[in-house]
Amino acid sequence: MFQDLLRRLTAPEPEQLPDVDSRLALGALLVRIARTDGDYADVEIAQIDKALIARYGLSPFEAAALRAECEALEAEAPDTVRFTRAIKDTVSYDNRVGVIEALWSVVMADGVRDDEEDSMMRMTASLLGVSDQDSHRARLRVSAG
């Protein structure tokens, strides 16, 4: 179902993603971070929907439908290294910082930051080309909000 998108994401020189594919890629990354600790909690699912609503102006129904597609894509997606590299190559830096904020909001949704999630966030920020300082500031913004 997602083979064309995955092929484009992992091409040697990825092209700019159409908006619908960009939404799927970001959503799949949100799902991946939520599943990192082995507990895909309802509060994390709700936060993913909230992030998709805020970022794309979707209705709750549309966000839930998009998240369901993202869950399927995440299950088929290659390792995080290739997946995030593709996003890095096709999304502007400011938008990638926004991605990091959305990821932190999912990590912190259940009120527990565990070592696996922290490790995945450090790796993901680095792979997205977002500096540690900008990731830290994004986490602080999410904590304050």
Tell me how far apart the terminal alpha carbons of the chain are, to the nearest angstrom: 37
Q: How confident is the model at residue 37 (pLDDT cuts 50, 70, 90)?
A: confident
Q: What share of the chain has pLDDT > 70, as a percent?
A: 83
Length of the chain: 145
What's the distance, CA 6 to chain centroid? 15
CATH number for the domain that contains residue 90? 1.10.3680.10
Better pLDDT: 33 or 21: 33
Enumerate residues 6+ apart whose C-beta is below 8 A from 59.
Answer: 53
Question: Two tokens at 112?
Answer: 């527990």
Domain interval for residue 11: 3-144
pLDDT of residue 88: 81
Q: Are 14 and 8 in contact (CB under 8 A)?
A: yes
Query: pLDDT tens for residues 68-111?
Result: 999 998 888 777 876 687 678 777 899 899 999 999 999 999 88
**Cα separation, 105 vs 9, whole angstroms:** 24
Evaluate whether 106 touches 44 at the Cβ level (below 8 Å): yes
How many domains are there within the chain? 1
